[in-house]
Amino acid sequence: MLALLLIPMLVTGALDGHQPDYYKPYAPISFDKETYSWTDKVHITIVSPAWNSNEYGIDTIGDDSQFPIKISTSSHNLSQYKLVETSANSGIFSGEVTLTGFSHDVDGDGKTDTNPRTGGSGPNGGFLETKRDDGLTLSFEFAEGVVLTKSAHISWNVGQIEFSKTNYLTDEQVIVKVIDPDMNLNPDAVDNIKIDASSDSDVAGVNVVATETSDDSGIFEATLRLSQNEQSNANRLHAKSGDTIIAKYKDMTLPAPYSIDDEQDISTNASVGTFTEHSLLIDKIYLSDSLGKQIQQPHLNQKLQIITPIQNTELNPQNFINIIQITSDSGSVVSISWITGTLDKSQKFEISQSWLPKQKGQYTIEAFVWKSFDDPRPLSKKQIQQIIVQ
């Protein structure tokens, strides 16, 4: 950063009449990525204060037969590509070139999905064909006989697929995400890909469209709704409690050592309706007085605290609601109360809820920890405690 800030001043200061300095060629070229996919848009920046000939006007570089910029892949190139100064006196020149790949069928329908072409003069709107494993090189003839270059790799990527959660309730909304920059076929528009989703209860499943999250993200999302009772249809997937659901994306743009015609199913799964893991741990509940002293034999009209020791076993903070239900031995609920809170990762906490027993007898205290009233998913096994009030 220091070099970037200091050297331009030295170069411009040393130059008379804003001619390029043959002996101190200073024009760092940068691309916005080190590795591009075959249909990426390449953003180019060249810092070249020596070429800021007019400090009151926008200068250009590259569109000059004597001092050209050439942008090339192994088989195609753009010559005399123009870059334009970002503001009148910045000495920074920028432009864009869109890679256009080669003819290839990316979804197995037998039709090519790309439009390979090379052309354009800059600063934007240039197109450049590329192979799967290729290099991108920009050369700039900074001064006579002084050529500066910068290169980047071009390759395909193995796609990734993930569910938004590892476990879903039946009837819950499911989001499937695919990351595959190779399927951002048009960096100026939202692209789509197809995903197969199935469950144990419907192994044929559904084929859904995943839409790119923005014009140039290479990240695709599809939303599904699970249904226990209804058949699969469009974005609805029939799945029952206990099922595993699977989402699958066929990647037909695989990097070496795969061949160009290879394909690979990329899949992920999640479970439905069952909770094999609990994120909060409840310890045995107990009674105390208001000072925290444990009470073994509670009495009628004694103000009791019901203590629920809980611990977050997750590495993320966890919102919860703790519900205490007290039932008499005749089966009627005599008290129900709740407290909401958040536990930091691994945090332990004792939740205290008060109760004043108004009749002698045997009671059952149950402690539940849910995610929330709106999302009544158990975060822990419930704790049950029998007590006798004398």
Query: Which residues are at the interface with Ca ion (CB under 5 A)?
Result: 52, 54, 59, 85, 105, 107, 109, 111, 113, 157, 159, 180, 182, 184, 186, 191, 212, 251, 253
In Å, the largest CA–CA distance within the chain is 102
Contacts of 388 (CB under 8 A, 6+ apart): 297, 298, 361, 362, 363
CA distance 187 to 288: 64
Q: Helices marked H in the chain — which ranges?
A: 2-14
CB-nearer residue toward Ca ion: 170 or 213: 213
Question: Minimum CB separation from Ca ion for residue 188, in Å?
Answer: 7
- Angle ∠(200,253,134) on CA atoms, nearest 5: 160
SS3 category, 188: coil
Question: Minimum CB separation from Ca ion for residue 169, in Å?
Answer: 32
Question: Minimum CB separation from Ca ion for residue 187, in Å?
Answer: 5
- Angle ∠(374,380,381) on CA atoms, nearest 5: 115
CB-nearer residue toward Ca ion: 117 or 165: 117
CB-nearer residue toward Ca ion: 55 or 344: 55
- For tokens 């100064």, name the residue: 85
Which residues make beta-bridge pairs with 98? 41, 127
Question: Minimum CB separation from Ca ion for residue 105, in Å?
Answer: 4
Question: Minimum CB separation from Ca ion for residue 137, in Å?
Answer: 24
Q: Which residue is nearest to Ca ion (CB)?
A: 253
Question: Minimum CB separation from Ca ion for residue 59, in Å?
Answer: 4
CB-nearer residue toward Ca ion: 59 or 134: 59
CB-nearer residue toward Ca ion: 157 or 279: 157
DSSP string, 26-74: ---EEES-SEE-TTPEEEEEEE-GGG---TTS--EEB--SSSBEEEE-S
CB-nearer residue toward Ca ion: 109 or 374: 109
